[in-house]
Structure 1
Amino acid sequence: MYLRKTAALLTSVLMLTALTACGSSGDKNGGKDGEYVLKIGEAQGALCHAPLQVAMENGYLDEAGIKWERVDFGKGDIQAALGAGTIDCGFGLVGKFVQPIDNGLNMVVTAGMHTGCTKLLVKSDSGIKTLDDLKGKKIGVSSLAGSECVTAKRALHEAGFDISAESKDVEFLVFGVTDQPQALQNGAVDAICTPDPVATQAEKEFGLDVLLDTAVTEPYASEYCCVTFVSKELAEQHPDVAAKFTDACLKASAWVAEHPDETAKLQVEKEYVSGDPAANAEILKSYQFIPSVKGGQEALTNVSRDLKTIGMLQDSTDPDELATRSFKKFEGVPDSYKTEDGKLVAVE
């Protein structure tokens, strides 16, 4: 396996150095696809990144003939790393990418990987039973620009809330993901919108009520939350590498669907996530790992339209045009894969 773990310290100084010293992703290794070393960004603790982790660990990238290295971020800003050229590609929640793309981030989405992975939780004795009951309340999120905040804003807007910064309908407060359950217990917030595995772990440990679960609550349950992405430079200058990366992740997602227990065990053994593999496997089983290129494009379009409606995009932005220019379908990559008789079969 061609694998070299690198630690990326995402300070502005180092990212500026990477950008000025290395140039764009297209400049590395003479511009030849066969020589190019793909820099794959990965954040620690991301249970739902299972397809990307499996693509790296189970050999799907190697089988495609890609030379690659994994760039670990801990809790770093993957969008900033992409913009600085520290990475070429990665995996993440589509909700947190749309606004940065609108502001000029050099990213294109390439496929949808799965549904689910975010929950809006309240204490069982809070008296809050529906989204309407959150009027005037405080919600804890990891970032005001993060996907969890975007999900909450989309749902609350649909429920009739004014979620503009000037509104008093609801207030969003920032806490680290692992700090959110305690903030809820201490009364610092009235609800938290947070990703798995923290969401499900907190739900069980504290007996929390679920107001929204993107794995089961429509329309989010039918919408891909996590997607693969590549830089515009990679898509334009090394399209074959970008296509092979996308294809490998599609295959890996289909494999995860059939092997959630093995996936959860691999994630813990390879130190991508912590926790009990059996418990993590149950969370993975609640998602729909049915990868789809078309599904990724549809999710990008849906989120872009919603963010335009609720005022999170620039006034001049056409959401459909944004979704069109920030999505890339590569020739030779099928829409999906499924398992038949123990083998992965392409689905067009």
Structure 2
Amino acid sequence: MKRIGLIAAALTLALATSAAAQKVRIGYWSSGVSLGFGSILENGKFMEKEGLEVEYSKFPDVNAPTKAMAAGAIDFAIGASAGTSFSVITDGLPLSIILATQVADLDFVVMEDSPIKSLSELKGKKIGMSPSGSATAAITAAILDANYGIKPSDFTTVPGNDPRLAQFLVQKDIDAAALRTVTIALLPDVKLRKLGTFREEWKKITKQDAPPVLGVGLIRNDWMSANPDGAAKIVVAMRKAYEFGKTDKAAVAKALIESANIKADDARAYAALWDGIYTVSMEPADVASLKAEFEVFKSVGAVKGTLPDSGLVTAPYEKSKTMK
């Protein structure tokens, strides 16, 4: 009986340890594109439904989730900036990209009455974009350099989140801006004129149809090692949240209204763009796209070093395909 008691105690301890190992700290940017996916993920309890115990953290700055990852404050970022993710991995931090999660669906815009008619005219101008270190800033620099010969030193970068950049445009404090299509949809009263899109301009550089990746699923290697099935469960939850958003736009709008205090019309406009701004994938084509993106970023000085193959991990995504 004593032996049976010891075995039972050991099993209880093992189960408790296993349960504890499934705790995951997840972070995301509380603005921009990350907001919509994060709201659905939280409200729908998609992670919890996969057996994960989740602690969510929202950050006010686009680069903050990556910094939190580097500091060990969170285990997974649902939409870490591709640019800063490349940087921390090449710097040797024990982090890995396991998903492409956000597509760079942005437009270069000016006010309707602006004399600027082409991206080639942005030399010497003030251009608004996400802060330095963000994927948006790196992609903007790459496009202007590769397609128009405009070096980063040839224009003035004005950083800020999208609402602030739109305000700068209206006030004539900047000449042009790179804004997410989501933001533009939420500004029907602001008369903007499009100069070009990230998708079109990126295609000129890469000669491929795949749009640039804006955000990635970034994970701590230590957590992934300690939770062999955990990373795959995260991917399954992300995929189910993505599919849910594709099929139920009304629920996406409702979540945004309730969790982000967005007006109903704005929430519906945001939800309508869901299919084009999010992705949950790590197919060979995604890996190739991320590697090509790194090289483009490197060519304009946005990142340095060499991106190791070990920094792009496909095993959780592949394993997730065998899970319901």
TM-score, normalization by structure 2: 0.80
Stretch of structure 1 that moved more, 291-300 or 212-221? 212-221
What 5-or-longer segments of structure 2 have no aligned partner? 1-13, 204-208
Q: Report deviation, 1:40.
A: 0.7
Q: Does 1:85 align with 2:72?
A: yes
Q: Does 1:157 align with 2:138?
A: no
For 2:262, the aligned partner's letter is S
Which of these residues, 29, 34, 47, is aligned with residue 43 of structure 1?
29
CA distance in 1, matches of 2:261, 2:90: 31
Using the aligned pairs only, state the percent identity. Answer: 20
**C-alpha root-mean-square deviation of aligned residues, in Å?**
3.0
Shift of the 264–47 alpha-carbon distance from structure 1 to 2, 3 Å rule, reads farther
CA distance in 2, matches of 1:273, 1:304: 36
CA distance in 1, matches of 2:16, 2:168: 49
CA distance in 2, matches of 1:238, 1:191: 46
Q: Report deviation, 1:190.
A: 0.8
Q: Report deviation, 1:144.
A: 1.7
Shift of the 125–332 alpha-carbon distance from structure 1 to 2, 3 Å rule, reads closer
Q: Report deviation, 1:152.
A: 0.8
Shift of the 79–113 alpha-carbon distance from structure 1 to 2, 3 Å rule, reads closer
Aligned to 1:13: none
Shift of the 221–262 alpha-carbon distance from structure 1 to 2, 3 Å rule, reads farther
Say if 2:27 and 2:56, in contact at 8 Å, map to a contact too: yes
3-state SS, counterpart of residue 112 of structure 1:
strand
Which of these residues, 231, 238, 241, is aligned with residue 230 of structure 2?
241
Say if 1:61 and 1:248, in contact at 8 Å, map to a contact too: yes
Q: Report deviation, 1:199.
A: 3.7
Say if 1:50 and 1:253, in contact at 8 Å, map to a contact too: no
Which of these residues, 116, 136, 139, is aligned with residue 124 of structure 2?
136
3-state SS, counterpart of residue 261 of structure 1:
helix
Which of these residues, 108, 118, 132, is aligned with residue 106 of structure 2?
118
Say if 2:83 and 2:302, in contact at 8 Å, map to a contact too: no
CA distance in 2, matches of 1:336, 1:128: 48
CA distance in 2, matches of 1:101, 1:43: 20
Aligned to 1:54: 40
Q: Does 1:100 align with 2:88?
A: yes
Q: Report deviation, 1:107.
A: 2.5
Which of these residues, 259, 263, 266, is aligned with residue 252 of structure 2?
263
CA distance in 1, matches of 2:261, 2:139: 23
Q: Report deviation, 1:323.
A: 5.1
Shift of the 146–218 alpha-carbon distance from structure 1 to 2, 3 Å rule, reads closer
Equivalent positions of 1:201-216 (< 5 A) are 201-202=186-187, 204-214=188-198
Q: Report deviation, 1:102.
A: 2.7
Aligned to 1:193: 178
Equivalent positions of 1:64-83 (< 5 A) are 64-75=50-61, 77-83=64-70
3-state SS, counterpart of residue 34 of structure 1:
helix
3-state SS, counterpart of residue 98 of structure 2:
strand
Q: Report deviation, 1:72.
A: 2.3
Deviation track 1:17-42 (CA, whole Å, cap 9, x = no partner) reads xxxxxxxxxxxx99944313210112
Q: Report deviation, 1:225.
A: 2.8
Aligned to 2:163: 178
Say if 2:249 and 2:268, in contact at 8 Å, map to a contact too: no
CA distance in 2, matches of 1:199, 1:143: 19
Q: Report deviation, 1:195.
A: 3.4
Deviation track 1:14-65 (CA, whole Å, cap 9, x = no partner) reads xxxxxxxxxxxxxxx9994431321011222344454443333323212211
Say if 2:235 and 2:317, in contact at 8 Å, map to a contact too: no
Say if 1:42 and 1:91, in contact at 8 Å, map to a contact too: yes
Aligned to 1:19: none
CA distance in 2, matches of 1:102, 1:143: 20
Which of these residues, 37, 49, 52, is aligned with residue 63 of structure 1?
49
3-state SS, counterpart of residue 167 of structure 2:
helix
Shift of the 205–141 alpha-carbon distance from structure 1 to 2, 3 Å rule, reads same
Structure with greater proportional helix content: 2
Q: Report deviation, 1:263.
A: 1.4
CA distance in 1, matches of 2:254, 2:167: 28
Shift of the 31–146 alpha-carbon distance from structure 1 to 2, 3 Å rule, reads farther
Q: Report deviation, 1:153.
A: 0.8
Equivalent positions of 1:6-21 (< 5 A) are none
3-state SS, counterpart of residue 239 of structure 1:
coil
For 1:200, the aligned partner's letter is A
Shift of the 123–210 alpha-carbon distance from structure 1 to 2, 3 Å rule, reads same
Deviation track 1:303-327 (CA, whole Å, cap 9, x = no partner) reads 211011112233xx23xxx152221
Larger radius of gyration: 2
Aligned to 1:232: 221
